[in-house]
Amino acid sequence: MAVRATRKGRPAVLFIDDSGWDCFFQLAAGIKRAGIRTVRITRSSQSRATSRLFFDRTLHLGGDVSDPIDLPGILEGEHIIDVQTTEAMAVAAGKAFTLLPPSRRTEAWNQRAAGTDKLLVSERLREVGLDVPRVLSGLDADAGRIVRELGLPVVRKLRVASGGEGMSIVDTREELDALLAEGPPSDRYFFEQFIEGAELQIGGVFGGRENVVVTYETLQRRGAHQPACRIRLIDDPGLEETGREVAEVLGISGFMNVNLIRDADGREWIHDVNPRVFGSFMAFRRVGVDFQRAYLNWLFDASRRGPCLATDGSSITVFPAAYREELQVGRPGAIAGFLRVAYPYVRWAGLRYVAYELGRQLLHEIEHRPDPNQGAAVGHNFRWVRKGEGSEGLGVLQPRHR
């Protein structure tokens, strides 16, 4: 399908972000090909050329992520039918939604913005009897109480964050005392009971005439507390029902992702809810689950389509996260391997998206190719690994495992 620019006033999806997110770019590229106008408000300093590939209109904002956004002025003449926002921008976006004329859509967007507050979500889910880890607000951050009520190790989290940002696991009382001594108590963070077990996820499009839902296990992450890069689809109707219940309790419709831990006793603890498109949504096309089509149907309340073709058991590689993690810079055939992995995305997200990712990969190869003048030991015994989501040119050398 040819990519075409859509005029102002046509149905549009608004993306609000603070950095370049793979899943935002994938979704924008896909729905733009379907004729949906795409608008981006960003505080990212990344190249404006990126925005031209996937968005009909982009506004780059200065200032901090908490600074107010003049949505009424920015969106004048736009027909916004849905909003996708990163957690970092959710507070500012939520305030901006209240400035728009009230409607069913703005009410839904406010519900999603509220759903980014992890502490409030935990309290609400507990109220209806769902299993969630015990928590204490940062304002109640007394070391003795934390140890008595939550035990050790204990997890500290930011109330509004994504991808493990600001998260740490505290193993000892000495570490806890040192952490609390870093500053005064704050309600920007909270402490959560540590649960050990298998990492499970629920992802889907909820709240329309159909719910398209998948349940899966995280097999590998790009790094500690980083997005998943390899997953395994599982058939678990009980988990699917949990996802539907979470969406109903929180009043969330559209894209949503839920993270759980299944402990040794088989009890499933909900520890994170992401009311937005999730990182692996397009990877499920490999097993017949078309979330992009489900989202388009949800946007326009289309009639029910055929059943998903999902099967159980196979692991799924999440593009581009997994490829970047496993890449050995300078390896012969690396770019050819990249193109083989990226090829299906020409059909799913379009040639512009694949060209964008290829450009990033070529730049990465150029910037981080080992210097032959620095000795063979470095080139043969180490690899370059990016430090985190959205990092541009940042990384560390890590030993290769033999």
Say which residue the tokens 């058939």 belong to.
235
Region(s) of the chain under CATH 3.30.470.20: 198-326
Whether omega for the bond prior to residue 153 falls within 30 degrees of 0, making it cis, is yes
Local confidence band at 210 (pLDDT 50, 70, 90 cut-offs): confident
Q: What is the pLDDT of residue 338?
A: 75
The pLDDT value recorded for residue 390 is 41
Q: What pLDDT is stored for residue 333 in this prediction? A: 65
Taking alpha carbons only, the member of 220, 232, 168, 231 closest to residue 325 is 220
Residue 317 CA to residue 232 CA, distance in Å, equals: 9
Residue 7 has a pLDDT of: 85
| pLDDT higher than 80, residue 275 | yes
Q: Report residue 108: phi and psi, to 5°.
A: -65, -40
* Residue 392 burial (CB count, 10 A): 15
Taking CA atoms, 310 is separated from 119, 258, 283, 291, 341, in Å, by: 33, 18, 12, 12, 20
pLDDT of residue 4: 53
pLDDT band, residue 223 (cuts 50/70/90): low
DSSP state of 400: P
Contacts of 114 (CB under 8 A, 6+ apart): 94, 120, 250
Candidate from 189-203, 210-224, 279-293, 295-309 with smallest mean pLDDT? 295-309
Measure CA 251 to chain center: 19
Residue 373's pLDDT is what? 58
Q: Residue 127 in contact with residue 86, Cβ under 8 Å? A: no
Where do the CATH 3.40.50.20 domains begin and end in the chain? 11-114
Separation CA 277–CA 308 (nearest Å): 18
Radius of gyration of the chain (CA): 22
Q: What pLDDT is stored for residue 384 in this prediction?
A: 37
Q: Is the model more confident about 182 or about 388?
A: 182
pLDDT tens figures, 15-65: 999 988 999 999 999 999 999 999 999 998 766 777 888 999 999 998 888
CA distance 275 to 389: 19
**Longest CA–CA separation in the chain, Å:** 64
In 3-state terms, what secondary structure has residue 205?
A: strand
Phi, psi of 304 (to 5 degrees): -65, 135
pLDDT of residue 51: 81
Domain 134-193: state its class: alpha beta
Sign of CA dihedral 183, 187, 193, 199: negative
pLDDT at 397 over 70: no
Which pLDDT belongs to residue 85?
97
In the structure, what pLDDT confidence band is assigned to residue 5 with cuts at 50, 70 and 90? low
- The answer to whether 357 and 341 are in contact (CB under 8 A) is no
Distance CA 123, CA 126 (A): 5
Q: Can you tell me the mean pLDDT for 357-370?
A: 76
Distance of CA 356 to the CA centre of its chain: 19
| Residue (of 127, 115, 231) closest to 162 by Cα position | 115
What share of the chain in percent tops pLDDT 70? 82
Residue 385: pLDDT band by 50, 70, 90 thresholds? very low
Average pLDDT of every residue of the chain? 85
Q: Where in the chain is the domain with CATH 3.30.1490.20?
A: 134-193
Determine what percent of the chain is predicted with pLDDT higher than 90.
62
- Are the C-beta atoms of residues 99 and 72 closer than 8 Å to each other? yes
Q: What pLDDT score was predicted for residue 45?
A: 77
Instruction: Assign domain 198-326 to its CATH superfamily.
Output: ATP-grasp fold, B domain (3.30.470.20)
Task: Give mean pLDDT, residues 346-353.
Answer: 87
Tokens of 385: 């690994």
Residue 354's pLDDT band (cuts 50, 70, 90): confident
Instruction: Decide if pLDDT at 336 tops 80.
Output: no
pLDDT at 49: 76
Let me know the angle formed at the C-alpha of 138 by 134 and 143, rounded to the nearest 5 degrees. 80
Higher-pLDDT residue of 226 and 60 is 60
**Distance of CA 248 to CAs 20, 61, 210, 251, Å?**
30, 34, 14, 5
- Cα distances from 297 to residues 55, 208, 350, in angstroms, run 20, 8, 19
The pLDDT score that the predictor gives to residue 313 is 60
Amino acid letter, residue 1: M
Distance CA 183, CA 138 (A): 11
Mean pLDDT of 323-336: 59
Alpha-carbon span 376 to 367, nearest angstrom: 18
The pLDDT tens digits for 300-313 are 874 333 334 444 56
User: For position 322, what pLDDT does the model report?
Assistant: 74
For residue 222, what pLDDT is reported? 76
Strand-pairing partners, residue 262, are: 198, 268
Q: Which position has the higher pLDDT, 126 or 342?
A: 126
Length of the chain: 402
d(CA 287, CA 26): 17
Question: What pLDDT score was predicted for residue 146?
Answer: 97
- What whole-number distance in Å separates Cα of residue 213 and Cα of residue 244? 9
CATH number assigned to the domain covering 11-114: 3.40.50.20
